[in-house]
A and B are shown apart, each in its own frame.
Chain A
């Protein structure tokens, strides 16, 4: 499943992104670390507002500032820290080395510009080719993502495409400069189920073809199971569990992960059963005390959970932030 080539493409360590609001500092991402290898697909899973998107936007330095601030941390792209680069160099990385697919294809293409204009812009910006070559490349990319008659459709406007087609265009655009990392921010959420599967298939195939590492942000555990090699489960701005996909589904360690997996409706269980749901609400990210953020909702909550945030415990080659695994360390 995972390619043999194990060299690191992107390594994020201790990333903290805070937002200053009128009510106080929102610690949207508070100490996130993960690593991404060539050809790997990493899933970032979690509830809405747990910091999945913000972590990825931080990696590209796309956090609106103010109010957002990257407080600390490193994002090493092939060993070079992105946060140290000048604005110009970062622009070269965006789209060139790391590119992104957004959630809503209906709004992420400029309605006023032809598809060709937008794709050529990307290609020219990063590959310095002339316009004709860039256009040929754009047509090639559209063909790769499965748009019929790409030579003609390339000059169409976004409104002439359906949602699924636009997401294909976005994928084509994102991959047109052979980036090393593709961040897919809930690429299938806004699409209907049949199209979802096609889009994910395209992302998967192309990432294999180009050797692109993919970060897949989603809250759909089914999508993760089918697509990813590794998973990071996020809760309240922190990664609470890192594991290989199969391990995670077979044996979820963190109570939150267990809850998530239990709350997926299953066809192999007898019907007429109440669907499990995790009680309570995710915490407000302002002024969190140094406790386990999950303990109010956790069925295994212990005394220590109310006193200190758990460090990362490694059990069976898996990193879990939960006091339950302290002894096994």
Chain B
């Protein structure tokens, strides 16, 4: 007991033994990120989006591909059922037609038609995914599209696709970029020269066109879309990583690693790449929105995701037709996408400030 106390006293008296409480880079970054309100807002929004996308199959929403043709172009409504909206729409239509014919009231025939519709909407059932439901009792909070599909479900599932493209595209491009950039930077010499020239040439190509050609060549499905985006987007990562590795490869710890007999691969991927992670994380968060934009652009051109799948881009492009009559079809996907892109950019900026110890915006 006594010796233990003496020892601990000794421990604290010796200058060499002062324990230094370490704060890891990530803890430090997190502390700084927490003080950045915009970034935290972005983070919360991104997390909500991610949860919604991941849990989409178990959320109480309708199928994104089930069509009820009668329900096409229903406006968004929080309170009314689909049937009521249909009746309302039928009524205004009939009234407008009657007015054209110079009448102020509906005639019997039209009234009968309306009441028939009322009766039908109240009772008609359909079998949807194994369950018999009253189809006209469905509620479309964000309205429906041209085939009577629920817009809310399509936006959520579209978000799934869009975010997945953003994330997977970023991961693959970062992955390819790290490997190629790290090898170019570390090996140097001829390897570096060749890789850098390839990157330069690929930078020179109009990459949108490259994607379009690839999509046209290999068919338009999601996998090919990932592939096409990934192979044109690793260039920047490779350049960034190469630069980082070059600045690090002459540091002493690399020489030390070589002196203990580490292999090249080990030095590059175990010792050097982790030192570049800060930059890569920032780049990744900022490149996710750009991937989503890219995919939206392709979908808008009709080269992206094919129906019945949806992405935010394809939803916007669907919504553009008839945007005067059915503005919600354009409005909601656009809003959802813009909010996500904003959030992602705020988060990326926040991370950049948080992870860069030399940042001027030090908080």
Determine the distance from Cα of A95 to Cα of B22 in the docked complex, in whole angstroms.
Answer: 29
Which A residues touch B257, using CB under 8 A?
Answer: 110
Check if A160 sits within 8 Å of B260, measured CB to CB.
no
Q: Any chain B CB within 8 A of the CB of A265?
A: no
Encode B1-29 as 1/0 by CB contact (under 8 A) with A: 00000000001001011011110110000
Check if A160 sits within 8 Å of B22, measured CB to CB.
yes
A/B pair count, beta carbons within 8 Å: 86
Given contacts A121-B270, A126-B261, contact A161 B256 (CB under 8 A): no
Q: Any chain A CB within 8 A of the CB of B32?
A: no
Check if A107 sits within 8 Å of B253, measured CB to CB.
yes
Q: Any chain A CB within 8 A of the CB of B359?
A: no
Interface residues of A in 99-127 (CB under 8 A from B): 99-100, 102-104, 107-113, 121-122, 125-126
Which B residues touch A96, using CB under 8 A?
Answer: 261
Which A residues touch B262, using CB under 8 A?
Answer: 91, 121, 125
Determine the distance from Cα of A143 to Cα of B127 in the docked complex, in whole angstroms.
Answer: 74
Q: Any chain A CB within 8 A of the CB of B124?
A: no
Interface residues of B in 233-269 (CB under 8 A from A): 251-253, 255-263, 266
Q: In the assembled complex, how far is the CB of residue A67 from the closest CB belonging to chain B, in whole angstroms?
A: 11
- Chain B: interface residue total (CB-CB under 8 A): 29
Q: Any chain A CB within 8 A of the CB of B271?
A: yes
Q: Which of A162-170, A223-231, A233-241, A290-298 contacts B (4 or more CB under 8 A)?
A: A162-170
Encode A147-166 as 1/0 by CB contact (under 8 A) with B: 01100000011011110110
Q: Any chain B CB within 8 A of the CB of A173?
A: yes
Check if B253 sits within 8 Å of A94, measured CB to CB.
no
Q: Any chain B CB within 8 A of the CB of A128?
A: no
Check if B251 sits within 8 Å of A99, measured CB to CB.
no
Given contacts A66-B189, A96-B261, contact A108 B20 (CB under 8 A): no
Which B residues touch A162, using CB under 8 A?
Answer: 16, 20
Determine the distance from Cα of A298 to Cα of B362 in the docked complex, in whole angstroms.
Answer: 57
Check if A170 sits within 8 Å of B258, measured CB to CB.
no
Q: Any chain A CB within 8 A of the CB of B60?
A: no
Residue of B17, B21, B24, B261 contacting most chain A CB atoms (<10 Å): B261
Check if B259 sits within 8 Å of A94, measured CB to CB.
yes
Given contacts A91-B262, A107-B253, contact A113 B271 (CB under 8 A): yes
Interface residues of A in 42-67 (CB under 8 A from B): 60, 62, 66
Residue of B189, B256, B266 contacting most chain A CB atoms (<10 Å): B256
Determine the distance from Cα of A170 to Cα of B252 in the docked complex, in whole angstroms.
Answer: 12
Check if B16 sits within 8 Å of A164, measured CB to CB.
yes
Encode A3-21 as 1/0 by CB contact (under 8 A) with B: 0000000000000000000
**Neighbour of B253 across the interface among A91, A109, A159, A165, CB < 8 A:** A109
Q: Any chain A CB within 8 A of the CB of B274?
A: yes
Given contacts A159-B22, A173-B260, contact A148 B14 (CB under 8 A): yes
Given contacts A62-B258, A62-B259, A173-B260, contact A110 B11 (CB under 8 A): no
Which A residues touch B261, using CB under 8 A?
Answer: 90-96, 122, 125-126
If over half of B's interface residues share one DSSP class (helix, strand or loop), that class is named, otherwise mixed; here it is helix
Check if A107 sits within 8 Å of B252, measured CB to CB.
yes
Check if A95 sits within 8 Å of B259, measured CB to CB.
yes
- Of chain B, the residue at the smallest CB distance from A195 is B16
- Of chain B, the residue at the smallest CB distance from A97 is B261
**Neighbour of B256 across the interface among A91, A109, A149, CB < 8 A:** A109
Q: Any chain A CB within 8 A of the CB of B275?
A: yes
Which A residues touch B24, using CB under 8 A?
Answer: 157
Q: In the assembled complex, how far is the CB of residue B226 from the closest CB belonging to chain A, in whole angstroms?
A: 30
Interface residues of B in 85-140 (CB under 8 A from A): none
- Of chain A, the residue at the smallest CB distance from B7 is A148
Q: In the assembled complex, how far is the CB of residue B323 from the closest CB belonging to chain A, in whole angstroms?
A: 51
Check if B251 sits within 8 Å of A112, measured CB to CB.
no
Determine the distance from Cα of A8 to Cα of B317 in the docked complex, in whole angstroms.
Answer: 80
Check if B258 sits within 8 Å of A125, measured CB to CB.
no
Q: In the assembled complex, how far is the CB of residue B259 from the closest CB belonging to chain A, in whole angstroms?
A: 4
**Neighbour of A157 across the interface among B17, B22, B259, CB < 8 A:** B22
Which A residues touch B274, using CB under 8 A?
Answer: 110, 112-113
Determine the distance from Cα of A110 to Cα of B277 in the docked complex, in whole angstroms.
Answer: 14
**Neighbour of A102 across the interface among B19, B22, B256, B275, CB < 8 A:** B256
Determine the distance from Cα of A122 to Cα of B16 in the docked complex, in whole angstroms.
Answer: 25
Q: In the assembled complex, how far is the CB of residue B193 from the closest CB belonging to chain A, in whole angstroms?
A: 13
**Neighbour of B259 across the interface among A60, A110, A148, A159, CB < 8 A:** A60
Determine the distance from Cα of A16 to Cα of B258 in the docked complex, in whole angstroms.
Answer: 21
Encode A70-107 as 1/0 by CB contact (under 8 A) with B: 00000000000000000000111111100110111001
Determine the distance from Cα of A107 to Cα of B252 in the docked complex, in whole angstroms.
Answer: 6
Check if B11 sits within 8 Å of A107, measured CB to CB.
no
Given contacts A121-B270, A148-B14, contact A99 B259 (CB under 8 A): yes
**Neighbour of A110 across the interface among B14, B17, B271, CB < 8 A:** B271
Determine the distance from Cα of A112 to Cα of B262 in the docked complex, in whole angstroms.
Answer: 16
Determine the distance from Cα of A104 to Cα of B256 in the docked complex, in whole angstroms.
Answer: 11
Which B residues touch A149, using CB under 8 A?
Answer: 11, 17
Check if B253 sits within 8 Å of A111, measured CB to CB.
yes
Which B residues touch A173, using CB under 8 A?
Answer: 260
Which A residues touch B256, using CB under 8 A?
Answer: 100, 102, 108-109, 170
Give me 6 A-to-B residue pairs in the complex whose CB atoms sit less than 8 angstroms apart, sorted by A's number: A91-B262, A99-B260, A122-B261, A148-B14, A149-B11, A162-B16
Residues of chain A whose beta carbon lies under 8 Å from any beta carbon of chain B: 60, 62, 66, 90-96, 99-100, 102-104, 107-113, 121-122, 125-126, 148-149, 156-157, 159-162, 164-165, 170, 173-174
Sample of 16 further A-B pairs with CB below 8 A, known A110-B274, A125-B262: A62-B255, A62-B258, A62-B259, A66-B189, A94-B258, A95-B259, A100-B256, A107-B252, A112-B275, A113-B270, A121-B262, A122-B260, A161-B20, A162-B16, A162-B20, A173-B260
Shortest Cβ-Cβ A-B pairs, 8 listed: A95-B260, A94-B261, A95-B261, A108-B252, A100-B259, A107-B252, A91-B261, A160-B22
